[in-house]
Chains A and B, each alone.
Chain A
């Protein structure tokens, strides 16, 4: 059980690191397609980590996992596509 709680701690640290990186990209004035792709990729990694580990969807029917991870991917992909089109 200790391993499970350590795993949750590791996920939390990953989320903090991702948040810090996203904040740094914004604060340091990074903009453009490369920065936006990185920002959305970090959001995808953070989102999947929350869905699988905190929401504990890892190990449940793929339909449930797919519905939530699919939601995340569609939302981020539409925003990335809209960004590219708007450049």
Chain B
């Protein structure tokens, strides 16, 4: 196990002490996480005060759609991580393909979410329906907007990768974009169990 860990360590720059990508992006990521964290904690307190309502309303959510979306986002994150690993090997064609796969998985997430929203709106559900749905719609839509921004960033990185804009020696921009995308994935990894499953 130590041998495996040591060999994996070799694939990362051993002298790197700062996170991959631009430090300014990491400050932005920490700010974003702070906002989402506050919202999640407020959600938890609101749930504590209205347990029966939250438990009843949660049963009206499509948990399978939430799980499919989790699979799509973690898969997108994996593709982006593989894209970064590929560019470190100077394999820009493979890197662009991994990025394209990640973007497709992200678009799949948006499609499933739009389907969920459509079903809720058709059922007459909106922000005023009750406290649970106010949180559900606000939290998931706020995250939805972040997925869109993440996809715009990935699309830019993909285009630049296809044009040979990144190399094994210089792929700082790709790492910056990848870090933002992983943040979007991380937030959903918390949101899914809190809103869709925990009861």
The smallest C-beta distance from B29 to any residue of chain A, in angstroms, reads 8
In chain B between 37 and 74, which residues have their CB closer than 8 angstroms to a CB of chain A?
A: 37, 40-41, 43-45, 47-49, 51, 55, 63-64, 66-67, 70-71, 74
The count of residues in chain A whose C-beta lies closer than 8 Å to any C-beta of chain B is: 54
Interface centre among B30, B37, B193 (most CB of A within 10 A): B193
Instruction: List the A side residues contacting B192 at CB < 8 Å.
Output: 19, 22, 43
Instruction: List the B side residues contacting A64 at CB < 8 Å.
Output: 18-19, 26
Structural contact, A79 and B194, CB atoms closer than 8 A = yes
Structural contact, B51 and A53, CB atoms closer than 8 A = no
Structural contact, B74 and A82, CB atoms closer than 8 A = no
The smallest C-beta distance from A9 to any residue of chain B, in angstroms, reads 8
Structural contact, B26 and A75, CB atoms closer than 8 A = no
Stretch in contact with the other chain, from B81-89, B122-130, B133-141: B81-89
Closest A residue to B20 by beta carbon equals A56
The answer, yes or no, to whether B189 is at the interface (CB within 8 Å) is yes
Instruction: List the B side residues contacting A39 at CB < 8 Å.
Output: 193, 197-198
SS class, residues of chain A in contact with chain B: helix
In chain A between 1 and 23, which residues have their CB closer than 8 angstroms to a CB of chain B?
A: 1, 3-5, 7-9, 11-12, 15-16, 19-20, 22-23
Sorting the interface of chain B by its residue count into under 10, 10 to 19, 20 to 34 or 35 or more gives 35 or more
Given known A-B contacts A47-B189, A72-B186, A83-B48, A23 and B11 have beta carbons under 8 A apart: no
Closest A residue to B9 by beta carbon equals A59
Given known A-B contacts A54-B80, A55-B186, A64-B19, A78 and B8 have beta carbons under 8 A apart: no
The smallest C-beta distance from B65 to any residue of chain A, in angstroms, reads 11
A15 to B193 CA separation, bound complex (whole angstroms): 13
* Number of A-B residue pairs at CB separation under 8 A: 166
Structural contact, B193 and A78, CB atoms closer than 8 A = no
Structural contact, A60 and B78, CB atoms closer than 8 A = no
Interchain residue pairs with CB less than 8 A apart (5): A5-B82, A11-B78, A78-B40, A78-B41, A79-B44
| B residues apposed to A, CB below 8 Å | 4, 7-12, 14, 16-20, 26, 29-30, 33-34, 37, 40-41, 43-45, 47-49, 51, 55, 63-64, 66-67, 70-71, 74-75, 77-78, 80-82, 84-85, 88-89, 175, 179, 182-183, 185-186, 189-190, 192-194, 196-199
A-B contacts besides A23-B66, A54-B182, 20 pairs, CB < 8 Å: A1-B88, A8-B78, A15-B77, A15-B189, A16-B74, A19-B71, A35-B199, A36-B198, A36-B199, A50-B74, A50-B77, A59-B12, A60-B20, A67-B30, A71-B34, A72-B190, A78-B40, A82-B44, A82-B45, A82-B48
Closest 6 CB pairs of A and B: A4-B11, A86-B48, A23-B67, A82-B44, A26-B197, A12-B78
